[in-house]
Amino acid sequence: MTNDQLDCKVLVTPTSFGRGDPALKNAIEKAVREVVYSPFDRPLTSAELIPLVKDIDGYIAGLDRIDESVIEAASKLKVIARYGVGVDKVSIPAATRRGIAVTNTPGANSAAVAEMSIGLMLSLCREICRADRGTRKGEWPRVSGIGLRGKNVGLIGFGSVGREVASRLKGFGCRVLVSDPQLDTKVAEQLGVYPTPIEELLAEADFVSLHASLNPGTDSMVNAGFLSKMKRGSFLVNTARGELIDEQALQVAIEDGHIRGAALDCFRKEPPGKDHPILRLDQVLLTPHIASHTDEAASAMGWMSLQACLSVLRDEKSPYTVNRDIYEKKS
């Protein structure tokens, strides 16, 4: 260990951490005494985490299940630095009780997720995946798509990703409707979007794109009732959290023809089982939770999570701390 290194051990589990930016791994390995990388190329379960966290001081976390049992097993832990925005898989109350800072990376992947959301809309409009599959089989499918220009697009959630989506949709001439209980009306006015009650939005939108955070109030918000209120023949896009959707209700709505199609980048269980009924529906476009996986976004999330982790290990306050009340307890 060198003189300028922190005498700390850090666990790093995000699958894309440093993959396109080798300087990230070099930086963390120079900054601390020891770095442990995840033995799996996927998010970890709490049972898998418990033996890994017992003697770590800092934790740069992917989409792992960090419940109370993990927190209690991590006797030396000072910081959980989420590589991403969502902290729904972290037991914030347990971390706060232990005085562990939980940080995230707001805005780091917003553009990437917004671009993916629009890419999925375009793929649904033009049935690009179906056309590709048919052409590869030697067929010459006559796919009749629809245009995105002039369509009503409803955004559920208007945080940083929703705003990035709205700004890009202006170039397609779309009418953008937004529903968010914490809507910033000034930003909505600047972006030229229309604040709309959710039932009215569902009735008018040709596309409904989910950008809400996961919490008890939004878990399974896209249920049978929600889907029945959507415009017949409309599309659903989800690049937020799989738990927002009742997947069985979505399956029924697609099979009976009320919903024309859907694009899902995330699922309640990841990866979904091979026998998941949604996987059998040609009207559903599926991607493996990759909306934030661009070189730019991964680098930004990596550096922000690294700096947050090191700040707390140096007994400094990170501006990206989610549970800021831990600082009040320490003062």
Q: How far is CA 217 from CA 106, 157, 181, in A?
A: 21, 13, 11
Element (H, E) at 80: strand 79-82
* Of 163, 211, 241, 293, catalytic: 241
Q: Is 280 a catalytic residue?
A: no
How many CB atoms sit inside 10 A of residue 210's CB? 25
Please answer whether residues 233 and 262 qualify as being in contact, where contact means their C-beta atoms are separated by less than 8 angstroms. Answer: no
Give the pair of three-digit tokens for residue 244: 């927002």
Q: Catalytic site residue 270? A: yes
| Catalytic member of 33, 42, 126, 289 | 289
* Cα gap 300→109, rounded to integer Å: 7
* Catalytic residue of the set 270, 280, 314, 316: 270
Could you tell me whether strands 152-156 and 207-210 are parallel, antiparallel, or unpaired per DSSP bridges?
parallel
Taking the C-alpha atoms of residue 171 and residue 37, their distance in angstroms, rounded to an integer, is 42
Q: Which amino acid is at 239?
A: T
Contact 127, 145 (CB under 8 A): yes
> Nearest-CA neighbor of 124 among 330, 291, 285, 278?
285
Cα–Cα dist 21/295, whole Å: 8
Query: Looking at the annotation, which residues are catalytic?
Result: 241, 270, 289
